[in-house]
Structures are given as structure tokens and as C-alpha cells.
Amino acid sequence: GWSRSESVLAGCERRLRVCRMSNWTPFVFAVAAPLALLIDHFCGEPPPRWHPVIWMGRYLNRAAPHVLPAPPASPELRDLKAFSRGVLAWWLGVAIVLVVAVTLQWLIFKLPLVLAALLMGLALKPMLAWAMLRREVQAVEDALGESLEAGRQRLSWLVSRDTAQLS
């Protein structure tokens, strides 16, 4: 009757322990990190709609007009105001990412252990753009085979500084 069903249910519940931030946390991350690398290797980058780096770029593009809306009368004043607005925009972005990451992790750790490890791997994957970085570095090397100028041009896709003087 019911006592047997309740006993079976209790046994299943014990086996599918819900993974709370506890002694199982290292296991979840030990599984999640290699899983994220495997996903990266076999699947590459997620579509733009689901890519956090693209989300950050969109946020920065939306914040830019508010950081530098119009040139002021004095260049010294502009630099300080622009810097202050940039710092605030950066910290706002950090706060948003932190809230999303902590909330996502909190929700994931409420799930059964194995599912938590798998979902944490999926959540970590976009932060490990190893496959894309490897392709881009290879593209720079290939461009350098053509010419130094082609290599500099391709490298500018990866770095935010001027590559014209690099040798």
C-alpha cells in the first residue's frame, strides 16, 4: 500500500539528493569545467542570441551615448565627466552580470546533483571561448604568412589597442 510507495519515494529522494551549496560544490565544478570545454570543442560558440559576450557588447553600445553624449566646452572637464560616467556604466554592467550569475548558480544548485553539474557546464561554456580563440589565433598566424600588415589587421580583431606599430 501507501507505506511501500512512501518508502520507495523516500529512497529515490535520498538517491537524487538536491545539490545545495555544500560539500557537493567541488564535484559540480569538477564536472562542469571539463564539460564546458567539451561543449566548446564540439559545438563552438552559442548563437548570438545566447552569447553573454554579445549581450555585454549590446549593453556597452547602449551605454555609450550616455557616457559620451556631447563634447563639453572644456577638454579637462570632458575627461573627468566621461571617465566618471564610464566607471558608473562599467560598475552597473558588473552588478547586472553578478546578479544574473549568482541567481543562475543558486537555481542550478537547487537541482539534483548530476543535473546541476550538467547545467553548470552549459552555463560556463560561453565563458570559455577556447575554440574561437584558437581559430582566431590561427587566423592571425595565417595572415602573418601573407604579410606583417595583414597580421596586424587580423590581430586588431582580437585586441582593443592600435596594432599598427607591432612587429
DSSP string, 92-151: HHHHHHHHHHHHHHHHHTTSBHHHHHHHHHHHHGGG--HHHHHHHHHHHHHHHHH-HHHH
Predicted confidence at residue 95, as pLDDT, reads 93
Distances (CA, A) of 72 to 23, 61, 76: 56, 21, 9
* Range 127-135 average pLDDT: 77
pLDDT band at 136 (very low <50, low <70, confident <90, very high): confident
Which residue type does 94 have? V
Find residue 11's DSSP bridge partners.
none
pTM: 0.60
pLDDT band at 27 (very low <50, low <70, confident <90, very high): confident
- Between 158 and 124, name the one with better pLDDT: 124
pLDDT band at 14 (very low <50, low <70, confident <90, very high): low
pLDDT band at 119 (very low <50, low <70, confident <90, very high): very high
- Between 60 and 3, name the one with better pLDDT: 60
